[in-house]
Structure 1
Amino acid sequence: MRSVSGEGLFSGTYAAATTSFAAVMFLTGFAALAVVPTLPMAARDLDGVSLFPLVAGCFVAASLLGGVLGGHWADRAGAQRPLAAGTALAVVTLLVSAASTSIWQLAAGRFLDGLAGGMVAVSINTAVGQAYPDRLRPRVLALMSTCWIIPSLVGPPLAGLVAEWWSWRVVFYGLAALTVLPTLAVVAVLRSRSWSAAPVPSGEKPPRPALMVATAVSLGAASGQYGVSGWSLRHLLFAVGGLALMGVFAPRLLPPGTWRAARGLPATVLLRGMSSGVFFTLEALVPLLLVTDRGVSPVSVGLLFTGAAVAWAGSSWVQGRLLERCPRHRLVVIGAVVLAAAVVVAVVGTLPALPPFVAASSMVVAAVGMGLLAPALTLLSLSHAPPGRQGSASGAMQTNQNLGQITVLGVSSGLFNACLGAGTTDSAGYGAAFGLLLGPCLLAALLAIRTRADGA
C-alpha cells in the first residue's frame, strides 16, 4: 500500500500492528461465518434441535455485551488490554465449542465467542483511533472491512466441506489452531515499546451504567431464547424474566421514541432491528430445515451462505451506483417488499413435495432485499443524527440490529416449538415460523415514510 508522507499502513511503526490487526479481523470473520453452516449439524448430533435458536441467539446477545465491555474498557485503560483479552478468549471459546458434549456447552461456547468477537471488533477500532494519525485512519478501517470479504465467500463452503469429510468439531479445532499465531502476534505488538495506544485523556471517566444496561439486556435476551425453546413453568419463567429485563433496560440504549417509530432517527433505528431480525431468522432456520428435515449436505448449505453474501454485495452495489438518485426511504420500501417475497418463498419451500432448492433460494432473495435496505437505513441514520452525534446514531443502529435479531428469532422459534408441541409436522412448524416474518416486513414497508430525510 502506498505510503502517506513516508508513513503507510505497512511501513515503519505501523507495519506489525496493521498486519496483526488484519490477520485477527480476517480470522474473526472466518470464525464467525464458517461455523454457521455447521451449527445445525452440531445441534442434531447433540440432540438439541429445539435449543438451536438459543445457540444462534447467544452469539448475538453476547456480541452486544462484548462491544460495550470492550469500548468501556478501552476508554478507561487503552485498547491494548481488551484487545489482547478478546483475542485470547476467542481461542478458548472455539475449543469449548469443539469439545461440546451437550447443546448447553455449545451454547456457552457461542456466548463466549460473541463476547470475544464484540470486544475484538470494538477494541481494534478504538486502537486505530488512539494510535494511528488522522490521515491513515480511513485506510486502516477500510482494510479491516475488506478482511471480511474473503471469509464471507470462502468460509461457509469450506467449513461445510470439512464437516462433511470429517466432523463439525474439526471446524472449531481448526479455527482455534489458526487463531493462536495472530493472537500471540497481537499480544507481542501491544506490549512493544514502539506501540502507543493510550486512552484519550478527558476530564471524567466513562460512565459505568451503559455496561450494566448492556449486561442486563444480554442476559435477558439469552433467558428469553431459552424460554421459548419449550413449554413448561420453568420455560415460562425464563421467558417472562428475559422479556422484563429487555423491556426495562433496552430502551436506555436506543433513541427516545424508537418503539413508537417516531419520525427521523427513532423510526430508522426501529426498521433496522425489524429487517435484520427477519433476515437473521431466515439465516438461522432455513439451514436448520435443510439439514435436519431435508438431508441437505453441509457443503451445499455453505454454498448457500456464499450465494447470499454475493447477492447482498451485488444488491448493495446497485443501490449505491444505479439507484443513487432514488430517495433512500423508497429503497427501504423496495427492500422490505423483496424481503417479504423471500418470506413467501420460504413458506412455500416448506412443502414436502417441493425440492430443497425452493427453501434455500429464500435466503438469496432476502439478501437482495437487505442489500437495498440496510445501506439506505445507514445513510438515513447519519442524515438524522445531530451534528457531532453520528457515532451515537451508529451505535444505536447496531444495538437495535442485535435486539431485533434476538427478538424476531425468539418469537418465531417459540411459534415453531408450539406447533411441534401441538403434534404438527416439522414442515408445518417451519411454515408457521416463516409466515410470522411477514408482519415485520410489511410493517417496515409501511413505516418507511417516517425515515424520510428532509429534502428527499
Structure 2
Amino acid sequence: MFLTGFAALAVVPTLPVAAQELDGVALFPLVAGCFVAASLLGGVLGGDWADRSGARRPIMAGTVLAVATLVVSGLSTTVWQLAAGRFLDGLAAGMITVAVNAAIAQNYPEHLRPRALALLSTCWIVPSLVGPPVAGLVAEWSSWRTVFLGLAVLTALPAIAVVFMLRDRAEEVPYRKRQSAEEVPYEKRQLSEETVTVAATVSHRPGLLLAAAVSVGAALGQYAASGWDTTHLVYAVAALALLGVFAPRLLPPGTLRAVRGLPASVLLRGLASGVFFTLEAFVPLMLVTVREVPPVQTGLAFTGAAVCWAGAAWVQSRWLGRIPRHHVVVAGALLLGAAIALAAVGTLPSVPPLTAAPAMVVAAVGMGLLAPSLTLLSLSHTPPDRQGYASSAMQTTQNLGQIVVLGVASALFNAALGAGASELPGYTAAFALLLVPTGLVVLLAARARANPA
C-alpha cells in the first residue's frame, strides 16, 4: 500500500505537464479519469482472485504490474499511450487495494482488523508529504518522464522483495483451513438468517466482462467531459447507458435499495466517497482560481487532510472499538456535513479567502472514522469465502461514487455558470448538493449495523 500510494500521489503533479507536452490537454480528463475507471476492473479482478486462491497472488500480480505501468507512462510518445499507462496503473492499484483488504479479513482475527486498516491509512502519510513536492521539483529540474521512470526504478526492488516473500507462503487459503467441520464446534458453525441471506446474495462472482463494461462506461464519461459538442454528447449518453445497465449487476443485490447488511454498507461507502472526493476536487479549484490562494497553501491543506485521515483511522482502531460501528459511521458523516458547510461559507466574498481550506481537513477526519468502519461492517456481513467479493464491491462503489457525485456536482456548477452567474454561486450550488448524499449516509447508517453477537 505504501508503494501504491507513493506512486499514485507522486505522478499527479506531473500529469498536466505530460499532457501539455504530448499535445493532449483537451484529453486531460481522460488521462486523469482512466485511473479511476480501471480501478473498477482491477478491484473486481483482485476480489475474485482472492476468493478463489487467497490474496497472495493478486497482490503479487498487482505489484509487478504497478512497476510496469510506470515504464509505459514514462516512455509515452502520445497522450493515448499516457492514458493507457494510467489505465494499467489503475488496474494494478484496484487489484492491490482489494486484495490487501481481503488478506486482512482472511488472516487477522476480528479484534485486530481495525488496527490493520488504520495501518493501511498511515501508509499514505509519507507519500502525501514527500511525493507531490519531490515529483514537482524533479519535473521542473529535469522532465516529467524522469518522475515516472525514476519511480519505476525506486519501486522495482521493493516490489521484487514483496513478490519473493509472498511466494514462500503456504498455498492454501487461510479460511479453508479454519472451516473444516471437525475443527469448528457445532455452535460456532451456526449462521444467522441474515448471514445465510448474505451468503446467497454474494455467492455469484461478478463477471469480468461486466466489470470491463463498467470501466469502459466510466472512461467514456471522463472523455465526454473534455468537450461540449455533439460527439462528446454521444459519448456521454453511451457512458450513462453502460453504467446504468451494468454497474448495478456488479454490486450486491439490493445495494441501490440499501438492503440491510452488506448492500447498505456498500452503498454508504459510495455515497461518502463521492462527497469527499468532490470536496477534494472543488475546494482547491475554488481556492486557486477564484480566491487566489497560493498553491503552496492549498498543498498544505492536502497534506493536512492526509495526516488527519490517518490520525482519525488510528483513533477509531484504538479508542472506538466498543462503540457500535454504525454510530461511528454517523459521526463521520456529520463531520462531512460540517466540512460541506465550511466550504459553502468559503464561497462568500466577505469571508477570508482561506476559509474553505480547513474543509478538506475536517472531511478527512470524517472519512478516517467512516471508511474503516464501513469496511469492517462489510466484512462482518460476509461469509469467509466471499470477503474478496465484499472488498471488491466496496472499491467499486467508491469509484462509482466519485464518478457520479462529482459528475452531478460539475453539471450543476456548469449550469450555474451557463445561467450567467459568477463562479462563486456555482461553487455554492455544488457544495449544497453534497448535503443530499451526506444526509443519506446519516439516515441509512443503521441499516449497515453489525449482527448482534
Establish whether TM, by shorter chain, passes 0.5.
Answer: yes
Q: Structure 2 CA distance, aligned partners of 1:144 and 1:93?
A: 26
Alignment of 1:7-26 (within 5 A): 25-26=1-2
The answer to whether the 8 Å contact 2:98/2:388 transfers is: no
Q: 2:338 aligns with which of 337, 341, 358?
A: 341
Q: 1:273 aligns with which of 270, 275, 279?
A: 270
Distance 1:392 1:111, change over 3 A: closer
- In the alignment, what sits opposite 2:199? none
- In the alignment, what sits opposite 2:93? 117
Q: Whose RCO is larger (CA < 8 A, sep 6+)?
A: 2
Q: Structure 2 CA distance, aligned partners of 1:84 and 1:450?
A: 36
> Match of 1:110, as an amino acid?
R
Q: Structure 1 CA distance, aligned partners of 2:49 and 2:386?
A: 21
Q: Structure 1 CA distance, aligned partners of 2:3 and 2:276?
A: 24
Q: TM-score, normalised by structure 2?
A: 0.75
Q: Structure 1 CA distance, aligned partners of 2:309 and 2:117?
A: 18
- In the alignment, what sits opposite 2:197? none
Cα shift readout 1:268-321 (whole Å, capped 9, x = no counterpart)? 211111001111222233334444555555544443222112211222333344
Distance 1:454 1:209, change over 3 A: closer
Q: Structure 2 CA distance, aligned partners of 1:190 and 1:57?
A: 33
- In the alignment, what sits opposite 2:307? 310
- In the alignment, what sits opposite 1:10? none
1:209 Cα offset (Å): 5.6
Q: TM-score, normalised by structure 1?
A: 0.75
Q: Structure 1 CA distance, aligned partners of 2:421 and 2:274?
A: 25
1:48 Cα offset (Å): 7.4
- In the alignment, what sits opposite 1:382? 379
Q: 1:445 aligns with which of 439, 442, 445?
A: 442
Distance 1:142 1:449, change over 3 A: closer
1:118 Cα offset (Å): 2.7
Are 1:63 and 2:63 an aligned pair? no
Alignment of 1:187-226 (within 5 A): 189=164, 195=168, 210-226=207-223
Q: 1:90 aligns with which of 57, 66, 79?
A: 66
Are 1:240 and 2:240 an aligned pair? no
Distance 1:170 1:239, change over 3 A: same
Q: Structure 2 CA distance, aligned partners of 1:230 and 1:184?
A: 42
- In the alignment, what sits opposite 1:32? 8
Alignment of 1:100-249 (within 5 A): 106-121=82-97, 145=120, 147-162=123-138, 170-183=146-159, 189=164, 195=168, 210-249=207-246
Distance 1:183 1:450, change over 3 A: closer
Distance 1:396 1:79, change over 3 A: closer
Q: Structure 2 CA distance, aligned partners of 1:99 and 1:333?
A: 46
- In the alignment, what sits opposite 1:366? 363
Q: Structure 1 CA distance, aligned partners of 2:416 and 2:26?
A: 12
Distance 1:252 1:219, change over 3 A: same
Q: Structure 2 CA distance, aligned partners of 1:38 and 1:317?
A: 31
Of 30-39 and 87-96, more deviation after overlay is shown by 87-96
Q: Structure 1 CA distance, aligned partners of 2:54 and 2:388?
A: 19
1:78 Cα offset (Å): 9.4
The answer to whether the 8 Å contact 1:342/1:366 transfers is: yes
Distance 1:336 1:142, change over 3 A: closer
Of 53-62 and 35-44, more deviation after overlay is shown by 35-44
Q: 2:257 aligns with which of 246, 256, 260?
A: 260
Q: Structure 1 CA distance, aligned partners of 2:381 and 2:54?
A: 31
Distance 1:226 1:354, change over 3 A: farther
Are 1:435 and 2:439 an aligned pair? no
1:393 Cα offset (Å): 2.9
Identity of counterpart residues, as a percentage?
69
The answer to whether the 8 Å contact 1:58/1:107 transfers is: yes
- In the alignment, what sits opposite 2:182? none
- In the alignment, what sits opposite 2:399? 402
The answer to whether the 8 Å contact 2:47/2:102 transfers is: yes
Q: Structure 2 CA distance, aligned partners of 1:447 and 1:133?
A: 28
1:401 Cα offset (Å): 1.7
> Match of 1:90, as an amino acid?
A
**Aligned CA-pair RMSD:** 4.3
Distance 1:281 1:301, change over 3 A: same
1:213 Cα offset (Å): 1.2
The answer to whether the 8 Å contact 1:37/1:301 transfers is: no
Are 1:327 and 2:324 an aligned pair? yes
Q: Structure 1 CA distance, aligned partners of 2:291 and 2:148?
A: 25
Of 111-120 and 64-73, more deviation after overlay is shown by 64-73
The answer to whether the 8 Å contact 1:78/1:197 transfers is: no
- In the alignment, what sits opposite 2:283? 286
Q: Which runs of 5+ in 2 are unaligned?
A: 177-202
Q: Structure 2 CA distance, aligned partners of 1:416 and 1:47?
A: 27
Q: Structure 1 CA distance, aligned partners of 2:161 and 2:384?
A: 39
The answer to whether the 8 Å contact 1:40/1:288 transfers is: no
Q: Structure 1 CA distance, aligned partners of 2:327 and 2:108?
A: 38
> Match of 1:285, as an amino acid?
F
> Match of 1:113, as an amino acid?
D
Q: Structure 1 CA distance, aligned partners of 2:138 and 2:95?
A: 28
Instruction: Determine helix, strand or coil for the equivalent of 2:228.
Output: coil
> Match of 1:444, as an amino acid?
V
Alignment of 1:45-60 (within 5 A): 54-60=30-36
Q: Structure 2 CA distance, aligned partners of 1:120 and 1:386?
A: 21
Q: Structure 1 CA distance, aligned partners of 2:127 and 2:210?
A: 32
Q: Structure 1 CA distance, aligned partners of 2:407 and 2:346?
A: 21
Q: Structure 1 CA distance, aligned partners of 2:66 and 2:117?
A: 23
Cα shift readout 1:32-71 (whole Å, capped 9, x = no counterpart)? 1233455567678889788665444321221121233355
The answer to whether the 8 Å contact 2:43/2:396 transfers is: no
- In the alignment, what sits opposite 1:14? none
Of 439-448 and 311-320, more deviation after overlay is shown by 311-320
1:176 Cα offset (Å): 2.9
Q: Structure 2 CA distance, aligned partners of 1:309 and 1:231?
A: 34
1:216 Cα offset (Å): 0.9
- In the alignment, what sits opposite 2:195? none
